[in-house]
Amino acid sequence: MPSIRAALRVFASAPFPPFRRCAGALCLALVVFSVRDAFAIESSVRTRAVHPQDGPDIEVTLRISDDDVVLGLLMNLNFVDEIVDVPREDPQFLAEIEQAGVRDALLEVLREEVELRIDGVPVTPVLDEFTVSELTMDLLPLFPRTGRRALIKVWTALRFDAKTPPESVSIVWGIFPPERILETTDPGPVDPPPGLTGPPAPDVITDLPPMEIKIRLIASGVERIIDVSQDEPEHTWHDEGGTIEERLLAVPEAVAVPVWRVPLVSLGCLAAMLLVIGGLRLSSAWDRRRGIAWMALPLGLLGAVALRDVSVVDVEQPFAGPSLPTEARAKEIFRPLHANIYRAFDYVDESDVYDALAYSVDGELLDGLYDQIYRSLIMQEEGGAISRVESVRMMDIDVESIGVLPENELPGFVAVARWQVDGAVHHWGHSHERTNEYEARYTVHEGLGGWRIAGSQVLEQFRVESSPFDDILQGMRDL
């Protein structure tokens, strides 16, 4: 942190004798590194909890289409060994001749433990695919506990046929092996499942919690992550239908321009009355027909009042300035516009993402903002994988100005927003989670299609979970 670094510099420059400054620096270093070690232990435990590579892993995908529902399971051999007991010649390998037995055993367990209902009717799955592959042996050092069994991946796809396009799909997941990554705090061999041999695991915790399973659900072009657990094993998807626009948050309509409501029929009645009276007044027969004129006056007035709601048109007030939102209204406009930017990235196809963005972003800014958000979702530490947005929290909105924008002469406002984004990459049955915080200045204007974001400038961005010890150590080096 800058404040810690500054404090260390002040301490280093304090007017003490050199030996006292040196002794003080050593004491401070001991305190800092003791705290660092405590945080490192906590961080290690937390990392292992959300990053369970060296144990049973599964990646579940549920893809819903008009014709069928496909349940895809990518398991490592550790997970397979937890749910089926098929003897193998080598516990660390799955030979080709052994794959048929594993396939049949898996299909039997999945049919018993996973229930899927389409529109309330249970459907029996058929095996669509079964393949076995192995990751490169270069990754073996990442799995000191389970070794090669973590590298062998078993892909199984079950197909559930639908007679009509599904309106609802329910899945009840019943497979929750123990969270074996918590068995020991030190890397070491783990007890293999029954039927396999291997050395015992040291410091084993016997009361292990069950795994929680994340399911990647893809339906109607939208991808989302759902969680199932032993306490809540069921999830139901409903076809919400609707267009892209209907799935986005509603943005308040543009501020109405001041208008005059003009009743055309009433004006016609008054005009006819004036014509009759004026014509008679100018004619030579005014004295004889004055009674007709006095009859036309009340008739015209009564007709104008009675027909005042017929054929009414709005006419913009010619001297009224542009209608501008209040500060509170500007914030109400900005919140859904900003939230819909991230909602657009729930879609799988790039064209759908662009279509959804177009409801919040001006056309000239589309490409730039798409690239900006796309880059922010890339996790470089996970090989460039794209994270999914799990939640967006708006922390603060400061409306800097409201008025006619000089660049396009459109009414609008400029706001500075600060928000946090929770993202996660889900693969190998676990997730890498990350929270980033951003601050940016946005220009919003009222165009032909309503309110749109017309400009953006990122002012600050950082990862929330970043450890403060980098700054502490930098401060120590400054001593």
CB 387 within 8 A of CB 377: yes
Q: Which of 297, 316, 335 is the last residue of a domain?
A: 316
Owner of token pair 């990754």: 139
pLDDT reported for residue 286: 66
What is the rounded distance in angstroms from the CA atom of residue 376 to the CA atom of residue 387? 9
Q: Which residues contact 477 (CB under 8 A, 6 or more apart)?
A: none
Regarding whether 308 and 219 lie in a shared domain, the answer is no
Q: Which of 241, 275, 295 is the last residue of a domain?
A: 241
Regarding whether 331 and 291 lie in a shared domain, the answer is no
Regarding whether 72 and 126 lie in a shared domain, the answer is yes
Does residue 37 sit within a domain?
Answer: no
CB 148 within 8 A of CB 188: no
What CA–CA distances, in Å, run from 239 to 70, 140, 372? Answer: 16, 43, 31
Does residue 42 sit within a domain?
Answer: no
3-class SS shares of the chain: helix, strand, coil, % to 5 = 35, 30, 30
At 292, is the secondary structure helix, strand, or coil? Answer: helix
CB 192 within 8 A of CB 85: no
pLDDT reported for residue 125: 95
pLDDT reported for residue 6: 47
Q: Which of 280, 296, 316 is the last residue of a domain?
A: 316
Does residue 41 sit within a domain?
Answer: no
Does residue 32 sit within a domain?
Answer: no
Q: Which residues contact 178 (CB under 8 A, 6 or more apart)?
A: 82, 208, 209, 210, 211
H-run or E-run covering 451: strand 450-463
C-alpha closest to that of 392 among 342, 331, 456, 466: 342
Does residue 17 sit within a domain?
Answer: no
pLDDT reported for residue 401: 95
Does residue 362 sit within a domain?
Answer: yes
Regarding whether 340 and 310 lie in a shared domain, the answer is no
What CA–CA distances, in Å, run from 333 to 183, 202, 441? Answer: 51, 59, 15
C-alpha closest to that of 218 among 429, 62, 74: 62
Q: Quickly list DSSP for 328-343.
A: HHHHHHHHHHHHHHHH
pTM for the model: 0.63
Regarding whether 383 and 269 lie in a shared domain, the answer is no
CB 226 within 8 A of CB 173: no
Regarding whether 226 and 94 lie in a shared domain, the answer is yes
What CA–CA distances, in Å, run from 129 to 97, 126, 150, 429, 466? Answer: 17, 9, 21, 19, 42
C-alpha closest to that of 330 among 454, 458, 456, 451: 451
CB 470 within 8 A of CB 462: no
**In this predicted model, what pLDDT tens digit does every residue of 293-332 receive, in sequence order?**
667 767 767 777 777 777 777 666 565 556 789 999 999 9
Does residue 303 sit within a domain?
Answer: yes
Q: What is the domain range of residue 301?
A: 259-316
Regarding whether 329 and 282 lie in a shared domain, the answer is no
Regarding whether 208 and 170 lie in a shared domain, the answer is yes
What is the rounded distance in angstroms from the CA atom of residue 194 to the CA atom of residue 177? 14
At 351, is the secondary structure helix, strand, or coil? Answer: helix
Regarding whether 358 and 470 lie in a shared domain, the answer is yes
Does residue 64 sit within a domain?
Answer: yes
C-alpha closest to that of 402 among 331, 335, 320, 316: 331
Regarding whether 357 and 275 lie in a shared domain, the answer is no
Per-residue pLDDT tens, the chain, 479 aa: give them.
Answer: 444 444 445 444 555 555 455 455 445 444 444 444 434 334 333 433 334 458 898 999 999 999 999 999 999 999 999 999 999 999 999 999 999 999 999 999 999 999 999 999 999 999 999 999 998 888 888 888 899 999 999 999 999 999 999 999 999 999 999 988 777 544 445 555 555 554 554 455 567 899 999 899 999 888 888 899 999 999 999 998 778 888 888 898 876 566 667 777 777 777 877 777 777 666 766 666 667 766 776 776 777 777 777 777 766 656 555 678 999 999 999 999 999 999 998 888 889 999 999 999 998 888 888 888 877 776 554 555 667 788 899 999 999 999 998 888 889 999 999 999 988 776 554 567 789 999 999 999 998 889 999 999 999 999 886 444 334 433 433 44
Regarding whether 279 and 334 lie in a shared domain, the answer is no
What is the rounded distance in angstroms from the CA atom of residue 217 to the CA atom of residue 222? 8
pLDDT reported for residue 49: 39
Number of domains in the chain: 3
